[in-house]
Amino acid sequence: MSAAIDDTFLQRINQHLGIAHKVCGLYLADKDERQDLVQEMLYQLWRSYPCFDGRSKFSTWMYRVCLNTALTYRRKNSKDKTQSLSPSHHQIPDPPPEDGEESMLLLREAIAALPPLNKAIVLLYLEDLRYEEIAQITGLSKSNVSVRLVRIKKQLESFMKKPPKPCSHVSS
């Protein structure tokens, strides 16, 4: 790439870097893995930037590249991984959340339980993207995005209405 293209690319990436971090936060809980994924996203964005033709907004294109990179990364890195206990499993639990905070935690848990494509749709919807933009990013039709959002909202509502899980502590 030429110096002018490099400068334009860096300016656009810096302006929209939050997109990469939001997508990483949606798909990965581990801080180190999120950092690795952001690096992979930046590499994929740089690699595919010459193909960006400006027919869509830069942010729309960036969402698509970041989401595809995150999905590929998860698929590739979830194979042959065994779940080991991390140091956080041995920590004292956090104090109970505040009233509104508990609802947000429950909503995050509900979103985390969604399949990867539905997580992406929710993220884009929460970012106030229009159905057309969500369709363009995900490769779905506008009507499919609409139908999926209705179903996702129902899923999230039912998850939020479930009674809380009982505490599994053993009493002495």
pLDDT of 52-96, one tens digit each?
A: 988 889 999 999 999 999 988 988 877 544 444 444 444 444 445
Residue recorded with tokens 């294109």: 61
**Alpha carbon distances (Å) from 65 to 100, 112, 120:** 33, 20, 12
Report yes or no on whether pTM surpasses 0.75.
no
50-88 core/surface letters (b: 16 or more CB in 10 A; e: else): eeeeeebebbbbbbbbbbbbbbebeeeeeeeeeeeeeee
What burial class does residue 126 get, using C-beta atoms within 10 Å of its C-beta: 0-12 exposed, 13-18 middle, 19+ buried? Answer: exposed
Give phi and psi for 23, each to the nearest 5.
-65, -45
pLDDT the model gives residue 2: 67
Domains and CATH numbers, the chain: 1-77 (1.10.1740.10), 100-162 (1.10.10.10)
CB-CB contact of 63 with 126 (8 Å):
no
For residue 36, give both structure tokens: 């690795």
Residue 16, C-beta contacts closer than 8 angstroms, at least 6 positions apart: 58, 59, 62
Residue 49, C-beta contacts closer than 8 angstroms, at least 6 positions apart: 1, 5, 9
Spatial separation of the C-alpha atoms in residues 169 and 172, rounded to whole Å: 9
pLDDT the model gives residue 26: 87
> Is the confidence at residue 121, as pLDDT, over 70?
yes
